Amino acid sequence: MTIIIDNDNEMVAETRRDLRSLPKAELHLHLEGAMRPSTLRDLCAKYNIVAPSIPTASSQKFTDFSAFVHVYIAACDCLREEEDVYRLVLEVAQDLHKCGVTWAEIAPSFTFYAERFGGMEATLEILVRAAERAQEETNVGIGWVISVERQLGIVPAVELAHLALKGKKLMIGDRSAIVGFGLHGPEEGYPPALFQSAFDIACGEGGLASLPHAGEIAPEINQGSKSVLDAVKLLRAKRIGHGVLAAGDPAVTQVLLDKNVCLDICVTSNYLLNVVSSRESHPLTQFLKEGVKCSISSDDPLLFGCDIVSEFEVCRKDLNMDDSILAECAKTSFEYSCAPDSVKQKGVEGIKEWLSVQE
């Protein structure tokens, strides 16, 4: 039980439950960006690669997106053997399990290292086997989001769309191992419209869920909100990674509401990449008040020194979100996920139980 001061300057008691035990789905996570710092150092040493400087806490800001990419590419570069991939996927699943995550939709940047594993299709099969093994050991289900790297161009994007759709037949148990088609990488100069043909292929009738990033950094000056709108209208997004630049644009907000689109929010990431000036000024609570559905995610723990529990803690502390609002975001993470219905149902029931507990 925590004592706080309310708006009338009176002391009131507020229950603050253990956020680690709150069931949740992690919907915005990059595989290589979730590598443990110790693993990055181990693998760099194994292959005689100079290890990059990485943050030790969620306070080191990146001066620009290229500095972020430098660390990320280093994490991709040290994946050289199949055992490295199995280790990475297992450790990510273990870390998620400790955070109360039972389902994760993870985007691997395997286009950067697929040639070392026999090509894109062979690498995808390795990732699926790794996810299956990790699920057996941790009980964390992993659905892969095959994502276009904007900076690589349109032709590779179309090729990846065909691969993703073909990969939908890869199974873990009785479910597809591939759940979505995404779009990430630097937004500047790469608006959603450029990739519409790829998303038409991968996310058409009976295809994968459309899960692009948009509205993190404007593709062009003052076009951040439009990038969110185009992600919905042109790419038919079910969820959008970030989307924060839509804040303050009533027309785009209304489209998010009308189309029932969820924003996968990463507060620390947005702060450390200078998308918002402070954690306290993040528009997450504004979106929630306007009725926009939002999940809470960690994005790249390796680079931002966070995990999904610390993200919930930031939302509690810096955005003054009480347990009922945090639970609603956790519920949204299951409801808007691509998880099997049984996983969704169990997660939502667990959240109700979490809310019923009084300290």
E strand spans, 37-111: 101-107
The token pair that represents 328 in the structure block? 């609603």
Query: What are the angstrom distances between the C-alpha of 191 and each of 108, 142, 169, 213?
Result: 21, 28, 30, 10
Q: 20-356 — its CATH code? A: 3.20.20.140
Mean pLDDT, the chain, whole residue set = 93
Q: What is the mean pLDDT of residues 185-213?
A: 96
Enumerate the domain spans of the chain.
20-356
**Is 3 a residue whose pLDDT tops 70?**
no
216 counts as catalytic: yes
pLDDT, position 57: 57
pLDDT tens column, 84-132: 999 999 999 999 999 999 999 999 999 999 999 999 999 999 999 999 9
Q: What is the mean pLDDT of residues 45-62?
A: 76
What is the three-class DSSP state of 239?
strand
Annotated catalytic residue within 132, 216, 280, 290? 216
Residue 73, pLDDT score? 87
Question: What's the mean pLDDT in 27-51?
Answer: 95
Share of residues in the chain with pLDDT > 70 (%): 91
Confidence of residue 12 (pLDDT cuts 50, 70, 90): very low
72: confidence class by pLDDT, cuts 50, 70, 90: confident
Q: The tokens 């990463």 sit on which residue?
A: 266
User: What's residue 141's pLDDT?
Assistant: 98
Candidates 48, 133, 36; CA nearest to 88 is 36
Residue-level pLDDT at 71: 81
Q: First and final CA of the chain: distance in angstroms?
A: 6
